[in-house]
Amino acid sequence: MKKMIMMFAVLLYSGYLAAASPSVDHSDPQAAFFERISSLCGARFTGQATFPEDPGDAFRDQELVAHIEQCEADEIRIPFHVGEDRSRTWILSRVEGGLQLKHDHRHADGTPDEVTMYGGTTQHSGSDLRQSFPADVHTAMLIPEASTNEWFLELSEHATRLTYYLERHGQPRFEAVLHREPQIEREQ
């Protein structure tokens, strides 16, 4: 009888803890992935393009910076800089049925570029470390040659590396490997 009471108390207490503290449903890889990225709000990742190896590529030999800057319950904004070019922001959003990745391109004055808000929505559960975003209808209409694009975001297990990868027609098109910079405590 004592054992049964003790087991009941343990179950009741663990249920209380589960209800008292918000947790990620790790059985939902998309929610877990979104929470992993969101938990890095304020982090800055730097690196370079590792593919293509075409010396004429505009991203080649440029410092690439992704800064996880704005984190809301259903949207994370990640400005992505290519050298001095600050025109790009990745927008990761929770949408019905999954996650969505959009590419917001702006002119220096903040007005939208003619080619902006392209991207895709997850079609598979992925994992808590990696999600893929096949091109959506808007992208296919905006950039017909990108209709087969599939973007991938991958975070290393300890969140020290962020990889952005793009395929077109099932073939590698672009990859950037970015490493997390140590966060410096700022004096108040």
Q: How many residues does the chain have?
A: 188
Running DSSP on this structure, what letter comes out for residue 182?
P
pLDDT digits (tens, 9 = 90+) for 133-188: 999 999 999 999 999 999 999 999 999 999 999 999 999 999 999 999 997 654 44
pLDDT digits (tens, 9 = 90+) for 57-91: 778 889 999 999 999 999 999 999 999 999 999 99
Among 85, 144, 149, CA closest to 113: 85
Among 26, 139, 37, CA closest to 94: 37
pLDDT of residue 165: 97
Residue 5 has pLDDT above 60, yes or no: no
Is the preceding peptide bond at 52 cis, omega within 30 degrees of 0? yes
* Three-state secondary structure call for residue 23: coil
- Residue 160 corresponds to which tokens in the numbers above? 């020290």
Beta strands in 32-96 (DSSP E): 44-51, 64-67, 70-71, 75-82, 85-95
Better-scored residue on pLDDT, 53 or 120:
120
Residue 11 has pLDDT above 50, yes or no: no
pLDDT of residue 142: 98
pLDDT of residue 120: 98
Average pLDDT score, the chain: 87
pLDDT digits (tens, 9 = 90+) for 50-60: 988 766 677 88
Fold exhibited by the domain 26-180: Lipocalin (2.40.128)
Span 16-32, mean pLDDT?
Answer: 61
Span 116-132, mean pLDDT?
Answer: 98
